Every structure is written in C-alpha cells, then in structure tokens.
Amino acid sequence: MHALMLVPYDLVWIVVEAGGVTNETASIIAKSGLRTIHVGFSQRMPNSWEARHKLESRMRLHALRIVRKEKLDGVVVFADDSNMHSMELFDEAQNVNWIGAVSVGILLHSDESSYMVQSEEEGASMPVQGPACNATDKLVGWHTFNSLQYTGRSAVYIDDRAPVLPRKLEWSGFVLNSRLVWKDVDGKPEWVKDLDKFDGVDEEIETPLSLLKSTSVVEPLGNCGRQVLLWWLRVEARTDSKFPSRWIIDPPLDITIPSKRSPWPDAPPELPSNEKVLTNTQEQTNKPSTRTKSPRSRRSRSKKKHDTKVIGVQVSTYSEQN
C-alpha cells in the first residue's frame, strides 16, 4: 500500500479479497487515500501454497475482468504483498506497448542453515525471474527460479517451517496495457486470447502469459531485464498467530518509543524448534516498555496491484483457512 501511495501517476488500486469484502480491509485501504475498487471473491484462502497460488491467479483474473468491464485505461501492474518495489518500476511500466516483463529478484528465506551453505557455494547470488535477451536485446526466453534444489524441502502448507517457493513466473513480473483485456477495441492484437475464454476454466491461467497465444510478443523492460525492478519475498503469519487478532490490538499497546539499538541481535538466534523465537528476541533486546511491531505478522493477505493508472490488488485478508 505504501509503495502505491508514492506512485506519481494517476492510480486505481483494485483489491480483490478472498472470502468476501470485510470492513477491516476496507478501512485499511481507505487510509491509502487512493482511488480503490474493492471487491470480494467468494472462495476463501486455502491452506496449502499450491491451492493458494491457484486461487490468487483466479483472483487476479477477476481483477482483469473489472478492468475490462469498467474499461479502465492505463497500465496494469500486478502488485503483491510479497513484493518490494523500486519506484522505477512504475516509470518503466509507462514504456509498455502491450505486455511487458520485468525482472523480479527472489529473496528466499529459509531457516535451515544448510540452504545458506548451499547458496554460498553458488556465490550467494540472488535468483532472478524475468525475461532473457540475446546479444541484440531481443527476447529469447525466461530466467525462471530453479526449485529443484528444494524438492521435498519446501513449504506445502502455510505454516510449514520451510522455504516458500515462488511460482515459475510471478504475476508481479508483468505489466500490461489495459486495452489488451478490453472487449472490442480497435487495434487490439490478435495474439491475445479473449478473457471470456477463461470463464469457468479459470484454473487454466497461471501467469499473464496464459492470456497470450504466443509468448514471443512480450516486451522485455528494465534494460532487457538486466535491471531488477522489484523483489519477491513471501511471508505469512502462522494460522495460530494471535497477533494482530482481527486487526485489532486489544488491549492497545502502551506508549511506543524508539529502541536504543536494533532489536535484531547480531548473531541470529538459535532457530526454533518451538514458537518462542519472536518473544525471545524481544525480551533479550528490548526494554520492557519498548514494543517493536512483531515482524510482519501479516495475515494471509495477498494482493496484487497495478500501477500507473490502473492498479489491481488482491488482498485476501483473514483467510480463516478452511
């Protein structure tokens, strides 16, 4: 939300909420002061990552249907709660003709040191998803995330203590001209499928590439993908998290004061065979009255945004997981 608030273009934020719209989400997005379109999606967020990713794709498609119905005019950016954006992304998005792709840096978190060792051997390079170009800056393929090294070791359910892997290509790595999804518009390329084709078969859509008959039309943006314009890191609160409960902190926190030093210890705390880590960290570094907001206990929110003129975001707040 804060990234969107900084975007220096006329912007509409489309929020699709799993399980139906709630007042809590409405009040949060209202605080952005942005023009928003907040709609519900009847299905609730499922418990497994696989099912969740699928539902999120369907929710994004739902947002595109709104773009089509309302004839929203501009560039669609798929923002996500799992993303950190460089503001340059929103400038670069202006250059898209029909559909463009940018590079997404993948920040995998894991709590097993073996993964870290592994990545050190590989030079600790950050995996990047995005368009691959040849020497003459023409799209020749995709850099995708290699999940093989995580086979059998990645999170299946949202509270698994294991790395959460990105999709092969994340939606957030694409931007598109909203007219691509409009009905009956002059000059619309014939290589794009009609959105109506997906009615009832939403599951077939995995990324914006599913909308195309040929992927060779994708325009590589950000210096042909060499510039990473956003990052991906997926974190979700455990289903049994108690804070914040229904977005309300009750009783309210006492006064909040800045801590004298970073609440994060230099050496990582011993990792968890139980759930006490956060508590320990706070106790060992903070004075009693200092409360640091608990690290990103974001509820199962997953949004998607868009920028420039059109923004579609899907927030699925409380997935009560069933």
Which of residues 124 and 135 has its CB atom nearest to ligand NAG in the complex? 135
Q: Which spans in 85-157 are helix H?
A: 88-92, 113-121
Binding status of residue 255 toward ligand NAG by CB under 6 A: no
Asked if residue 34 lies in contact with residue 5, where contact means CB atoms within 8 angstroms, the answer is: yes
Instruction: Give the one residue of 5, 140, 235, 249 binding ligand NAG; rule: CB under 6 A.
Output: 140
Instruction: Give the one residue of 71, 138, 193, 293 binding ligand NAG; rule: CB under 6 A.
Output: 138
Distance CA 312, CA 304 (A): 6
Distance CA 15, CA 22 (A): 11
Which residue stretch of 52-60, 65-73, 122-130, 136-144 sits at the interface with ligand NAG (rule: CB under 6 A)?
A: 136-144
Binding status of residue 23 toward ligand NAG by CB under 6 A: yes
Binding status of residue 214 toward ligand NAG by CB under 6 A: no
At residue 101, φ and ψ (nearest 5 deg) are -130, 140
Which of residues 23 and 151 has its CB atom nearest to ligand NAG in the complex? 23
Distance of closest approach, residue 143 Cβ to ligand NAG, in angstroms: 16
Distance of closest approach, residue 20 Cβ to ligand NAG, in angstroms: 10
Q: Which two tokens mark 62?
A: 């739902």
Bridge partner residues of 106 (DSSP): 232
Which residue stretch of 53-61, 134-142, 151-159, 312-320 sits at the interface with ligand NAG (rule: CB under 6 A)?
A: 134-142
Instruction: Write the Ramachandran bin of 152: left for phi over 0, alpha for psi from -120 to 50, otherwise beta.
Output: left
Residues of this chain, 102-121, that bind ligand NAG according to CB under 6 A: none
Cα-Cα-Cα-Cα dihedral of 165, 167, 319, 160, to 10°? -20
Binding status of residue 136 toward ligand NAG by CB under 6 A: yes
Which residue stretch of 29-37, 42-50, 72-80, 129-137 sits at the interface with ligand NAG (rule: CB under 6 A)?
A: 129-137
Residues in binding contact with ligand NAG, number by CB under 6 A: 6
Which residue stretch of 29-37, 133-141, 285-293, 312-320 sits at the interface with ligand NAG (rule: CB under 6 A)?
A: 133-141
Instruction: Give the one residue of 134, 210, 279, 289 binding ligand NAG; rule: CB under 6 A.
Output: 134
Distances (CA, A) of 238 to 158, 220, 303: 7, 37, 18
185-196 burial: b if 16+ Cβ within 10 Å, else e: eeebeeebeebe
Binding status of residue 30 toward ligand NAG by CB under 6 A: no
Distance CA 103, CA 132 (A): 9
Binding status of residue 151 toward ligand NAG by CB under 6 A: no
Asked if residue 264 lies in contact with residue 282, where contact means CB atoms within 8 angstroms, the answer is: no
Distances (CA, A) of 128 to 125, 146, 166, 214, 231: 9, 10, 11, 23, 9
Instruction: Give the one residue of 117, 124, 135, 148 binding ligand NAG; rule: CB under 6 A.
Output: 135
Q: Which two tokens mark 63?
A: 């947002």
Which of residues 115 and 247 has its CB atom nearest to ligand NAG in the complex? 247
Which of residues 132 and 165 has its CB atom nearest to ligand NAG in the complex? 132
Look at residue 168 and give its three-state secondary structure: coil
Which of residues 135 and 248 has its CB atom nearest to ligand NAG in the complex? 135
Indicate the residue type of 50.
E
Distance of closest approach, residue 69 Cβ to ligand NAG, in angstroms: 24
Residues that bind ligand NAG (CB under 6 A): 23, 134-136, 138, 140
